[in-house]
Structure 1
Amino acid sequence: MKRLTRLTPVAATLMLSMGTLSAAHADESTGKLTYSGFIDMSYLSIDTDGVGSTHDSGIDQVEIDFAYDFGNKLKAFVDVEYQNSEVDVEQAFITYAVSDQFTVKAGRFLSYSGWETEEPTGLFQYSGTGYAKYFYGYYQQGVSGLYNGNGYAFAVSVVNDLAGPESTDSETPGVETMIAIMPTDSITIKGFYSFDKLAGTDEDTKMINLWASYAQGPLTLAAEYNSSEYTSLAAADASGYLVMANYAFDTFGLTVRYHDYEVEDAMGTTWEDMSAITISPSYAVNDNLLMVFEYRKDSDDVSGMDSDSIAVEALVTF
């Protein structure tokens, strides 16, 4: 499951920390219409113990994001994506600025939750952890309110389904809440509590996501903790965490990340227990082209089969 770069205060924290990339995702304007986007392509090689190697390359994703400012505090956003030989509308929503601090949006939008973003433009390395489906919300249809104060923020979203972008059934809506504290320009702390009814059961889905980051100059540090219950029929309880560090050397960057998560069924049997260490250098060729290189070692404590992967990514933003 992929996650999309947020059009919220989270985006400022998650953007790549290299100064040369600060203009790489800038909008082009035509009157009140603005657009931005990216082309993402990669080569990936995975060697799994006892299984062998796989090699994949090609276009991972192409996206164009449109925004239109109607004036009078009303804006519309539409994100169009090409992936897996299909074209989809990822997001389509409107926002209304009730005041300078309070904004309401409605339509199809991405969950605020999670340290790691959906799109490659918001990641510090090539790969995501892979645990987002257990701990993060997804694309959602509903209404959300965001209040930005001086050093703090609150958000509440009421949606048809926490992870159902095509769901239209609003009989048992899901709710996502966020509390954010920004005591300084360098420190951000965010907490999310989300709950919903697991489809076809009497069980309640509950997700807790907590993350904190420190960004000062060329250095970015982050840590995240997650806990969930009944995010699927197979997953009764899950927990996971990550720690990450990124340092930018002018046009070069280096990211080191470690993550770990465990998933149990209703009988208490562990059926997924994964951890990985990721080392990812990157190089900004120019303001629009970023090359990302990654070595990742995954450990699977359930199957006992570990894997090593190498990736090379070319990310063009406009």
Structure 2
Amino acid sequence: MKLPTTLTPIAATLLLSLGSMSVANATDDTGLFDKLSVTGFIDMSYYSLDIDGGDSSTTSGLDQAEIDISYDFGNKLTAHVDIEYQNSSEGVDLEQAYINYSFTESFSVKAGRFLSYSGFEAEEPTGLYQYSGTGYAKYFYGYYQQGVSGMYSSDKFAVAVSLVNALAGPQATDAESPAIETMLAFMPTDEITLKAFYSMDELATGEDTTVINTWASYAKGPLTLGIEYSMSENTQASYNIAGTDSEATGYLAMVNYAFTDKIGLTLRYNSWDVESADGTTVEESSGITISPSYAVNDNLLMVFEYRMDSNEGFGTDANSMAVEALVTF
């Protein structure tokens, strides 16, 4: 569910500027470049898909590369810009661009284009415990959005409210009927995180789509556990799958264990289904993922994945294998 804006000339200008900054930084005495931080990643993979009773396919190469730029103006104001290249779209895109103002240590407001807070699984490969996402994010997660968002956070509690043009519309500019995303988070201990999201948007059909996303995680030492449950109404109308008055539910359970500081293993089960207004199941899918990983060094992570999917709605099963090389900087 990618809806990026292609901005190759802007991206090229920014990259050239970064090159100039790195040279100037060697002789900078003003501290200007101390306020600038640049991070990013390069993501490459080999992927093989075998569909029972269907064709098999194999792909390899560069999946994605990204540069994230942050600048601290001082006086509680910061700016953040993410530029990415995706091989699937064959272009350089502006992913995020927003400013953030911290009124206090606990309360801040950001405005521009930013990623939704919702969802247990991250949008970027650097935030995933395995190679692939579940596949149900487009039904239950928000996406990159344009608008304004306020957050209050403390050690044990956080709340956020976002008013955006669309829950999944990074290019949306119509603000006549804004969408809303709300978040409640509780962190009763250092190991436990609980989050709940309620989101609502108006579709082109005039109907309201509502999404509830809840997840919890436990992380202590080498062990990380995660569970998620989501449900939505009318979400499918925007994808022309089930129409108005459709319903969808989905969940996942995941365990990740780090045997050493270099070797880890992730096991995940996920499932979701979509029903039309008359109760007909139009999509029913589940999957099991086994994904070991190996950290070659601080910057290079190798991820291996074997996944088994069953789509009862279409009566097909599929097995896939992947090898991913993820470089971060």
The Cα of 1:275 is off from its aligned counterpart by: 0.1
The separation in 1 between residues aligned to 2:175 and 2:293, in whole angstroms, is 44
Task: Measure how far apart 1:150 and its partner are.
Answer: 3.1
1:36 aligns with 2:39: yes
Alpha-carbon contact 1:252-1:281 (below 8 Å) kept:
yes
Is 1:300 aligned to residue 311 of structure 2? Answer: yes
Given the alignment of the two structures, is residue 62 of structure 1 paired with residue 65 of structure 2, yes or no? yes
Say yes or no: does 1:148 pair with 2:158. Answer: no
Give me the whole-angstrom Cα distance separating, in 1, the residues matched to 2:248 and 2:160: 24
Q: Which string of whole-angstrom CA distances, capped at 9 and with x for unpartnered residues, describes residues 100-130 of structure 1?
A: 0001000000100000000000000000000
Give the aligned partner of residue 16 of structure 1.
none
Matches of 1:254 and 1:301, distance apart in 2:
28
Deviation at 1:52, TM superposition (A): 2.4
The residue that corresponds to 2:83 in the other structure is: 80
- 1:2 is displaced (CA, Å) by 6.5
Q: Is the helix fraction higher in 1 or 2?
A: 2
CA displacement at 1:149 relative to structure 2: 1.9
AA aligned opposite 1:37: G
* Distance apart, 1:304 and its partner CA: 1.4
RMSD of Structure 2 on Structure 1 (CA): 1.2
**In 1: Cα distance, 2:168 partner to 2:99 partner:** 20
Which deviates more from structure 2 when the two are superposed, residues 265-274 or residues 293-302? 265-274
Map 1:211-290 → 2, pairs under 5 A: 211-233=215-237, 234-235=241-242, 236-250=246-260, 251-290=262-301
- My pick for the range that moved more, 209-218 or 230-239, is 230-239
Rounded Cα–Cα distance in structure 2 between residues aligned with 1:66 and 1:120: 18
Please give the TM-score of this superposition, normalised by the length of structure 2: 0.87
**Are the aligned partners of 1:2 and 1:119 in contact in 2 as well (CA < 8 Å)?**
no
Query: Which secondary structure state, in structure 2, belongs to the residue aligned with residue 306 of structure 1?
Result: strand
Report Cα offsets for 1:276-304 as digits up to 9, x if no partner.
00000000000000000000000011121
Q: Does the residue aligned with 1:117 lie in a helix, a strand or coil?
A: coil
| Cα deviations by residue, 1:192-217 (Å, 9 ceiling, x for unpaired) | 00001012x12111000000000000
For 1:238 and 1:209, the matched residues in 2 are separated by 12
Distance 1:218 1:80 in 2: 33
Q: How does 1:166-181 map to 2 (within 5 A)?
A: 166-181=171-186
Deviations 1:80-106 (A, max 9, x none): 000132000000000000100001000
Distance 1:34 1:123 in 2: 23
* Whole-Å separation in 2 of the counterparts to 1:2 and 1:49: 28
Moved over 3 A (4+): none
SS of the residue corresponding to residue 78 of structure 1 reads strand
* Paired letter, 2:217: S
Q: Which runs of 5+ in 2 are unaligned?
A: 4-31
TM-score when scaled to structure 1? 0.90
CA–CA separation in structure 2 for the residues paired with 1:184 and 1:31: 34
Instruction: Give the SS at the match of 2:182.
Output: strand
Structure 1 CA distance for aligned equivalents of residues 277 and 169 of structure 2:
23
Partner of 1:23: none
Q: Flag structure 1 segments of 5+ consecutive residues without an equivalent.
A: 4-28
Residue 85 of structure 2 aligns to a residue whose secondary structure is: strand
Report the alpha carbon displacement of residue 267 of structure 1 after superposing the two structures with TM: 2.7
Q: 1:2 to 1:129 in 2, by over 3 A?
A: farther
Partner of 1:31: helix, strand, or coil?
A: helix
3-state SS of 2:313 partner? coil
Residues of 2 paired with 1:303 and 1:168: CA distance?
36
Aligned residue type for 1:210: T
Q: Deviations over 1:49-102 (max 9, x none)?
A: 110210011100000000000000000000000013200000000000010000
CA distance in 2, matches of 1:59, 1:271: 34
Higher-RCO chain (CA-CA 8 Å, sequence separation at least 6) = 1
Q: 2:167 aligns with which of 150, 162, 181?
A: 162
For residue 266 of structure 1, report the CA deviation from its aligned partner: 2.4
After superposition, residues 69-148 of structure 1 pair within 5 angstroms as 69-84=72-87, 85-148=90-153
Identity %: 66
Structure-2 separation of matches of 1:57 and 1:265: 37
* Secondary structure in structure 2 of the residue aligned to 1:232: helix
Moved more, 68-77 or 262-271: 262-271
